[in-house]
Structure 1
Amino acid sequence: MFVVVGCLLTCPLAGQAAPIDDQLKAIQSVGAEGKGHAAAIAAVKELSRGKSDSLIPILRAFEDANPLATNWLRGAFDAVAEREWRQSRKLPASELEAFVRDTARNPEARRLAYEWLVKVDPSVSDRVIPGMLRDSSPEFRRDAVQRLLDRAVKAQEGDKKPEAVALYREALSGAIDDDQVKAIVKPLRELGETVDLQKHFGFLTEWHLIGPFDNTDKTGYDVAYPPEMKIDLAAKYTGKMGEVEWERHATEDEYGVLNIAKKTAPHKGAVTYGYTTFVTDKPRSIEIRLGTPNAWKLWVNGELVFARDEYHRGTQLDQYKVRAKLKSGTNAILMKVCQNEQTEEWAQDWKYQLRVCDSAGAAILPSSVATTTSQIGR
Structure 2
Amino acid sequence: MVRRRFVLAVSAMAAIPAVVRDRSTLAQDTMPSARASYGLTTLSRGLEQPWSMAFLPDGRMLITERPGRLRVFAQGRLDPRPLEGVPAVHAAGQAGLLDICLHPGFAQNRVLYLSYIAGDSRLSLTSVARAELGDGGLRNVVRIFEARPGASGNLNLGSRIVFDRAGKMYVSTGDRFQMNRAQDLGDLAGKVVRLNDDGSVPPDNPFVGRQGARPEIFSWGHRNPQGLALHPETGRIWEVEHGPKGGDELNVLKPGANYGWPLVTYGTNYDGSKITDNRHLPGMEDALRTWVPSISPCGLTFYTGHKFPQWRGSLFTGALSNQALFRIGVEGERYAGEERLLVGRLPYIRDVRQGPDGLLYLVTRSDDGGLFRLEPA
Higher strand share: 2
Higher helix share: 1
Taking structure 1 as the reference length, the TM-score comes to 0.23
Q: Which has the higher contact order (CA 8 A, sep 6+)?
A: 2
